[in-house]
Amino acid sequence: MPGSEFLRFTDPYEHQKSIRGSEAEFFITAPGKYEAELTRIDFHRLWMQRSQASLPHVAHYMLNKRRSIVFFLARSESPPIHHSGIELMSNEIMFDAVGAEHHHRFSTPGHWASMSLTPDDLAAAGRAIVGYDVVAPAASHPVRPPPALMSRLLNLHETAGRLAGSAPDILAHPQVARAIEQELIRLMVGCLTDGKSARSDSVHQRVPVMRRLERFLEENQDRPIYVAEICAAIGVADRTLRLHSLEHLGMSPHRYLWLRRMHLVRRALAQADPTRKTVTELANDHGFGELGRFSVTYRKLFGESPSATLRGDPIPAKPLAPTGRFPILP
């Protein structure tokens, strides 16, 4: 049975946990109040999502190996973003490799959309619609569909998202959901097969270095890490790591490590018992030795003092509309 859910967030950690079809990490790159929305819709075969966030950020994604995923900007007027170093325009679709790993960089508040099918369902849809199997590429690459097809896809995706937020009972009706799903699949296949490759995918030669970086960071989350240590562990020169980091993240490795530590200490503060832990203790645990400087930069980035985070509870995501049956799958 089709189902949908519409969520709002004030915490990027809660937002990232709610993204379906991938494991995600968000790192805010500019100060301000974080506000985000996420719409998730399950049709019979197709999953779709729409999201927007109020602040610039970088994100790291590890995609589900059981889904073939396409990603695009949700609005025709959206400014470009960077997808693993490739500039993705609002008139393009990123056709992701199954199980791909990549970084997104939003230099402005972002609005994005995605759809996915299992590889078998995508192949079957291709046979039915264009006469041959449609298969995810070995390396993610952008496709530029014909403008009319892209416009129709954006409009229908937005319409479905609007129904999920304002009239979920209508969207849960089997016949309505089936009609929308079939048209979305038809447009998705048409955009992928009638579109042209937007640019060279040679930048993906640098993805393995970024993947090794993220593996090392994941394995060492409980302690401060330094650039020289990373270079030695993953076998690249400092200059090489800097080049890759600037291309994928828009910042130096040193800045990225600092940003990760700031988000990790914020999560630790939000989850800690203020009667048993102090700001100084948690800051030191994450490699911040100068409490005064840490407090100033923390407030600039997150809009509140570290002590305020420690005293308060993180606000969980709350559905804002009734939902149909929504199986929580990986």
Burial of residue 172 (CB within 10 Å: 0-12, 13-18, 19+) is: buried
> Do 171 and 66 reside in the same domain of the chain?
yes
> What pLDDT, on a 0 to 100 scale, did the predictor assign at position 313?
53
**Residue 316 forms part of a structural domain:** no
> Do 72 and 103 reside in the same domain of the chain?
yes
**Residue 248 forms part of a structural domain:** yes
Task: List C-alpha distances in Å: 119 to 186, 270, 293, 307.
Answer: 15, 39, 50, 48
> Do 117 and 173 reside in the same domain of the chain?
yes
- Domain coverage including residue 214: 205-311
**Residue 325 forms part of a structural domain:** no
Which runs of E-coded beta strand occur in the chain?
A: 3-9, 22-28, 36-42, 47-53, 57-63, 68-73, 81-83, 86-88, 93-95, 101-106, 110-117, 141-144, 196-197, 318-319
What is the three-class DSSP state of 139?
coil
> Do 221 and 175 reside in the same domain of the chain?
no
**Residue 326 forms part of a structural domain:** no
φ and ψ at residue 48, rounded to 5 degrees: -135, 150
Q: What is the pLDDT along the chain (330 residues), one digit of tens a residue?
A: 678 999 999 889 899 999 988 999 999 998 888 999 999 999 999 999 999 999 999 999 999 999 999 999 999 999 999 998 889 999 999 999 999 998 999 999 889 999 999 999 999 999 999 999 999 998 898 999 999 999 999 999 999 999 998 888 888 888 899 999 999 999 999 999 997 776 554 445 557 888 888 888 888 877 778 888 888 888 888 888 888 888 888 889 888 888 988 988 998 998 898 989 999 999 988 888 888 889 999 988 888 899 999 987 544 444 444 444 333 333
Separation CA 14–CA 12 (nearest Å): 5
Q: Which helix (H) or strand (E) holds 223?
A: none
Structure tokens, 315: 């606000």
- Of the three residues 199, 215, 249, the one that is the final residue of a domain is 199
Q: Which helix (H) or strand (E) holds 254?
A: helix 253-271
> Do 195 and 275 reside in the same domain of the chain?
no
**Residue 94 forms part of a structural domain:** yes
- Of the three residues 199, 232, 260, the one that is the final residue of a domain is 199
> Do 19 and 117 reside in the same domain of the chain?
yes
Rg (CA), the chain: 21
Phi-psi bin for 104: left (phi > 0), alpha (psi -120 to 50), beta? beta
> What pLDDT, on a 0 to 100 scale, did the predictor assign at position 291?
87
> What pLDDT, on a 0 to 100 scale, did the predictor assign at position 314?
45
Q: Tell me, what CATH number does 252's domain have?
A: 1.10.10.60
Q: What is the DSSP string of 78-112?
A: PPPEEETTEEEPTT-EEEPPTT-EEEEEESS-EEE
Q: Tell me, what CATH number does 65's domain have?
A: 2.60.120.10
- Of the three residues 152, 168, 199, the one that is the final residue of a domain is 199
* Domains identified in the chain, total number: 2
> What pLDDT, on a 0 to 100 scale, did the predictor assign at position 68?
96
> Do 216 and 190 reside in the same domain of the chain?
no
> Do 190 and 217 reside in the same domain of the chain?
no
> Do 194 and 209 reside in the same domain of the chain?
no
> What pLDDT, on a 0 to 100 scale, did the predictor assign at position 329?
33
Instruction: Enter the pTM of the model.
Output: 0.80
> Do 124 and 177 reside in the same domain of the chain?
yes
Task: Return the closest-CA partner of residue 53 out of 94, 102, 90, 16.
Answer: 16
Residue that has been written with the tokens 């319409």 in this structure: 159
**Residue 329 forms part of a structural domain:** no
> Do 107 and 91 reside in the same domain of the chain?
yes
| Other Cβ atoms within 10 Å of 78 Cβ, number | 22
| Sign (positive or negative) of CA dihedral 279, 281, 285, 288 | positive
> Do 225 and 78 reside in the same domain of the chain?
no
**Residue 75 forms part of a structural domain:** yes
**Residue 320 forms part of a structural domain:** no
Structure tokens, 202: 């040679």
Cβ proximity of 92 and 74 under 8 Å? no
Which positions ≥6 away from 278 have C-beta within 8 Å? 310
